[in-house]
Chains A and B, each alone.
Chain A
Amino acid sequence: MKQLALVIDLNVCVGCHACVTSCKEWNTSGTAGYMADMNPYAKDPTGTFFNRVQTFEVGQFPATETVHFPKSCLHCEDPPCVPVCPTGASYKRESDGIVLVDSEKCIGCNYCSWACPYGARELDEHQKIMKKCTLCVDRIYDESLPENERKPACVMACPAEARIFGDISDPDSEVSSAIRESGGYQLMPEWGTKPANHYLPRRKASITIHEDELVRSDNPLKKEHQLPMPDDDDPTFDEITSW
């Protein structure tokens, strides 16, 4: 069964937040909008976002890793937010696995956000309804858009191409092959939610230098008569033994 998802490559994400605001920009004036901002020009501004980047440090100086971690609804295959919804507003589409909220049914009770182990759902404090990532469902099937633009806004925006979008149930898709080949993993699989979104871990490149690669026969110092050569009166075997 088709399951659309994002695969997020932490190996190349530089935490630039392009996905965060491009998401807000598309969705605030779209079918899922608006996304209200409280105190937009005052003390303690907050607002609704479908996607946020958390940055944290791992390890101790100097062996420190700085991790930029974008997080949005993971569109679980077994989403705990759906069965807890008293009105049926929270639902998972059979056709493509996207988890959505029907804003006309939502009563803002917050059960779904309490059930979500990932903290991916945010109550729009102004409308008092639950809002969340829709995988830009109003873009991805829109036939008035050129085919290569039928992608979530965050995927279109990401300068590092750290966000790959596709069907994880299709083994030949780009997302499936990325998960397979780059060690894609799910968040907290022990919860049994089977999140559709996956993350690709950091991968480190290194250069191995063998000592004997340092000097080659065409070393330019040779032309300057500068390759290390002992002085004529330095000790050699000749002074030490006669065999």
Chain B
Amino acid sequence: MSKPKHDPLSKQFDENSQIEVKNTTCYMCACRCGIRVTLRDGEVRYIQGNPDHPLNKGVICAKGSSGIMKQYSPARLTRPLLRKPGSDRGANDFEEISWDKAFEIMTDRMSHLRGTDPKKLALFTGRDQMQALTGLFAKQYGTPNYAAHGGFCSVNMAAGMIYTIGGSFWEFGGPDLERAKLFVMIGTAEDHHSNPLKMEISKFKRQGGKFISINPVRTGYSAIADEWIPIKPGTDGALFLALTNEIIRQGLFDREFLRQYSNAPELVNMDESSSEHGMFVRFEIPHDEGCFDPQNKLWWDREQNKAVPNYTKGADPYFLGEYQLEDGTPVKPSFQLLVDRVKKYTAEWASGITGIPAETIVRLAHEMGITARDEKIELPIPWTDCWGVEHEVVTGNPVAFHAMRGLAAHSNGFHAIRAMSILMSLLGTIDRPGGFRHKAPFPRPIPPCAKPPNDSRAVQPNTPLDGMPLGWPADPDDLFVNDDGSPVRIDKAFSWEFPLSVHGMMQNAVTNAWRGDPYKIDTLMLFMANVAWNSSMNTSGVREMLNDRDENGEYKIPFIIVADAFQSETVAFADLVLPDTTYLERHDAMSLLDRPISEYSGPADSVRIPVVPPTGDCRPFQDVIVELGSRLNLPAFTNADGSAKFQNYKDFVVKYETSPGSGIGFLAGWRGPDGDEYIKGEPNPNQWQMYEKNNCVFHYELPKSYQYMRNWNQGYLEWAKRHALLRYTDPINIHIYSEVLQQFRLAAQGKTDGRQPPDHLRKRVEKHFDPLPFYEKPLEALQSDLEKYPLNAITQRPMAMYHSWDSQNAWLRQIHTYNFLNVNTKTAKEAGIEDGAWMWVESMHGKVRCLCRHSEAVEPGTVWTWNAIGKASGAWALDGDANEAKQGFLLNHLISEELPPSADGDHLSNSDPVTGQAGWFDVQVRIYPVAEGEEQVSSPQFDTIGPVPGQMIERKPSRWLTYFAGRRGAS
């Protein structure tokens, strides 16, 4: 018998191999797990989860394990490219140029713009997680036209929660499944923090907790839910309001929690004639107004039956009732206003909207309320609150929630998420064991202190922007508008159309720039943003806009720069292409100044350190930004003598301080000359080495007594102030009732002296800036013919591709090669569409031909598909007839970035009127079978594009791929 190959001792092929093992951080999705990369003869042999990493503790996912195929993808760009003169955008006709030439082109163009009108440069980035750097560049350049992809993704989640509880899901907080007894996940949320969430849900289930999934579709994590509650898309707000109604009706709210930690008992001015109508009554005006909530409001004390300053010792406020102050002002506790609001939102009412039986809604409310009340956790952790009261224990009400895009991607999502945050607060679950827990640098004041500029004069030639490109408006004075109230930004963020668009509105950048509304720009710079495909709504239209010319034959968007590592659909539309590296080829910092990987137990940040050299002429986009910054003489990147301050991003990360001597830089760990300081400290030249030695991660574990109740935890808040995370140590009280919103409403009502919205937006602002959540159908549903388009269409990411940046990968594409439209069997049969048949799905904006899959795991009024599986023919180095292009499809063609124009031709984004969140889960559709003899191919189709010069096309085997690390092309 010959020696079996699988004998572990027969490792002959390894004997002469050079094996290296290096740690870095994954970037196959947004999770940022620690990875350990084994190289054989310089080639990536094995990527595993780093067992010593706090985030993933050794596990990895399907994408992370397929990183090899990304590194060696034939879609890799390797040379800077310039569109050939005379060729059309979209035709993919490029010539290779040098980096010197590329920088020369950019520097010439961009320095001219900076010296004349900096807002003519717009920089929009995709899911990059390097906003600390790109935001700094935009600010230094002086353009207000900068944002990442949050307007698409989940700004409603960020804004809805942060404007209510001072923190939000994912990077800034999450469900404490270690201690929870009931876990409710609403809508698609699997993408966010996917590996940690998988780990936690598994442990939670094994501990015997009950997992309820409320989702139109049962897939992903919902599959293992103990109970699946199907719901109609965009109706989550109705459900939360009905649950709130029942919880209040039964007295299942945590009164003590709300009394101490929220504005529920504070008295609201009910005098409609007053300019203070709907505002809290204040007993004094603070001397020093800052970015915090002064405790100058009133309670109505039960003992004395009169108004007293809030937090008066020994006082106990009424939550309900109507009172009159001594000066005759009628007042109500804000909780009474909530009760008044939810009165009409009964379970029966919500049932008709959500499709959930009323008795299920009532039971759900009781399960939440009783679990929160009767399963209380007490941890023997002493802590001191902001009022100086010492507590012997930390208490928890073990009901945890999680939600992300499923709630967020609706134009009524902000109020739905406010309603969810209020429900979570009523149950007493905020930053407590078993409920929601914050992650540093959150909680932050409501709203956080950073503000966008509030004056068009903040934009000046050759001058950094006076303010942050993105921020958190607290009142109309914080809006970024011209003197006439019109938007300053190209995406109209922070204007009266979308006042709290705290993540910007990337979804409208191309359309607005094309139309020249509010003005024309010159250069659109895109990084990792596939706007000609899945990062746009109205994809077909956006592709035309990118290629559209004015009457003089000039492009309406004169110059487009695309930085990407791969030959995406958008590369074809670029004038200048900058080849980015992969995550395995560069330095990166996942900074506390951006979206870090903090844990509930304390702040954490992490880095990438290259494990292989850059391919071809690829350059990390960060290096490009740092170099461009110094070539453009931007102050943060340039010495007084005009020389470059930093060699590259690696150098920048170590040396940069937010202001001279601030001690705050991109990385929090091992600061100070000896590396023994953290968060704040002098730059440490050995910082990279320290991260390298420590699994590429810094994690500061807070003392146990600082790990909970952080909105009101004196020890934590003082620690956070000492370490520059916060400016104030004042309590961050929960805004059950939002005075911030009410201020915008008062302005819209003309009751204030300050800024007021233009007349045509008054009603819209007045309605949507309701200080308490309300339910209304999404905007698209209000404007669609629902008889004609009765179904909702939504997307999810497949389990193997959660939150992946891109999905062309030799291994992953075998798992999901093309997508079907999943239709409830009954719905499909009624429409006469067979399982596996070609069909049409049509909205008022367009139609798509696709394949049908009958499913019992979707509610009958919803159709859905995997997002971003469909590709344009020839993109991503796939053959023109690849299944992704011919059978796969993109739902985005059906979704509009704008609402139908108004009678006078005004265009409004199809976005939440509060936050500017793209309403891309709002589309209403109908379905019907294809006609006999129709082509069996997905529609729309686009001309096949070929590879670009320098593309790693030699990596593209014609028929067989036999990857074997260290032995390139084993076959």
Q: How far is the CA of A205 from the CA of B826 in the complex (A)?
A: 30
Q: Is the CB of A20 within 8 A of B815?
A: yes
Task: Determine if A32 is an interface residue (Cβ-Cβ < 8 Å).
Answer: yes
Residues of A204-237 contacting chain B, CB below 8 A: 204-207, 209, 213-216, 219-224, 226-227
* Contact indicator per residue, chain A 59-76, by CB within 8 Å of chain B (1) or not (0): 111101111100000000
Task: Determine if A193 is an interface residue (Cβ-Cβ < 8 Å).
Answer: no
Task: Determine if B760 is an interface residue (Cβ-Cβ < 8 Å).
Answer: no
Q: Is the CB of A157 within 8 A of B964?
A: no
Q: Give the bracket for the number of chain A residues in contact with chain B.
A: 35 or more
Task: Determine if B859 is an interface residue (Cβ-Cβ < 8 Å).
Answer: yes
Mark the stretch among B551-559, B612-620, B653-661, B954-962 that contacts chain A: B954-962
Q: How far is the CA of A204 from the CA of B227 in the complex (A)?
A: 8
Nearest chain-B residue to A49 (Cβ)? B814
Nearest chain-A residue to B955 (Cβ)? A41
Select which of B226, B367, B800, B808 is within 8 A of A21 by beta carbon: B800
Q: How far is the CA of A59 from the CA of B5 in the complex (A)?
A: 45
Select which of A68, A88, A219 is within 8 A of B223 by beta carbon: A68
Minimum Cβ distance to chain A for residue B525 (Å): 29
Given A40-B810, A67-B223, A219-B251, is A126 in contact with B366 using a C-beta cutoff of 8 Å? no
Residues of B338-372 contacting chain A, CB below 8 A: 363, 366-367, 370-371
Give the residues in chain B near A21, CB-CB below 8 Å.
Answer: 62-63, 65-66, 800, 811-812, 815
Q: Is the CB of B51 within 8 A of A224?
A: no
Minimum Cβ distance to chain B for residue A221 (Å): 4
Task: Determine if A177 is an interface residue (Cβ-Cβ < 8 Å).
Answer: no
Q: Is the CB of A31 within 8 A of B10?
A: yes
Task: Determine if A47 is an interface residue (Cβ-Cβ < 8 Å).
Answer: yes
Minimum Cβ distance to chain A for residue B343 (Å): 13
Mark the stretch among A11-19, A107-115, A165-173 that contacts chain B: A11-19
Q: How far is the CA of A17 from the CA of B877 in the complex (A)?
A: 24
Task: Determine if B477 is an interface residue (Cβ-Cβ < 8 Å).
Answer: no
Q: How far is the CA of A140 from the CA of B7 in the complex (A)?
A: 11
Q: Is the CB of A100 within 8 A of B6?
A: yes
Given A156-B58, A202-B224, is A126 in contact with B971 using a C-beta cutoff of 8 Å? yes
* Contact indicator per residue, chain A 129-156, by CB within 8 Å of chain B (1) or not (0): 0000010011011100000110001001
Q: Is the CB of B66 within 8 A of A31?
A: no
Residues of A180-198 contacting chain B, CB below 8 A: none
Minimum Cβ distance to chain A for residue B540 (Å): 24
Give the residues in chain A near B963, CB-CB below 8 Å.
Answer: 28-29, 34, 37
Nearest chain-A residue to B827 (Cβ)? A61
Give the residues in chain A near B318, CB-CB below 8 Å.
Answer: 223-224
Give the residues in chain A near B800, CB-CB below 8 Å.
Answer: 16-17, 20-21
Select which of B211, B799, B878 is within 8 A of A17 by beta carbon: B799
Task: Determine if A44 is an interface residue (Cβ-Cβ < 8 Å).
Answer: yes
Q: How far is the CA of A40 from the CA of B206 in the complex (A)?
A: 39
Task: Determine if A36 is an interface residue (Cβ-Cβ < 8 Å).
Answer: yes
Minimum Cβ distance to chain A for residue B9 (Å): 9
Given A34-B964, A103-B5, A137-B6, is A65 in contact with B223 using a C-beta cutoff of 8 Å? yes
Q: How far is the CA of A102 from the CA of B958 in the complex (A)?
A: 29
* Contact indicator per residue, chain B 202-222, by CB within 8 Å of chain A (1) or not (0): 110110111100000011111
Task: Determine if A86 is an interface residue (Cβ-Cβ < 8 Å).
Answer: no
Q: Is the CB of A205 within 8 A of B319?
A: no
Q: Give the A-binding residues of B (Cβ under 8 A).
A: 1-2, 4-6, 8, 10-11, 40, 45-49, 51, 56, 58-66, 68, 74, 182, 190, 194-195, 198-199, 201-203, 205-206, 208-211, 218-224, 226-228, 230, 250-253, 255, 302, 316, 318-321, 363, 366-367, 370-371, 373-374, 799-800, 802, 808, 810-815, 817, 824-826, 855-860, 877-879, 881-883, 886, 956-966, 970-971
Can you add 6 more A-B contacts, CB < 8 Å, to A43-B881, A62-B859? A17-B62, A25-B47, A28-B963, A45-B817, A156-B60, A223-B302
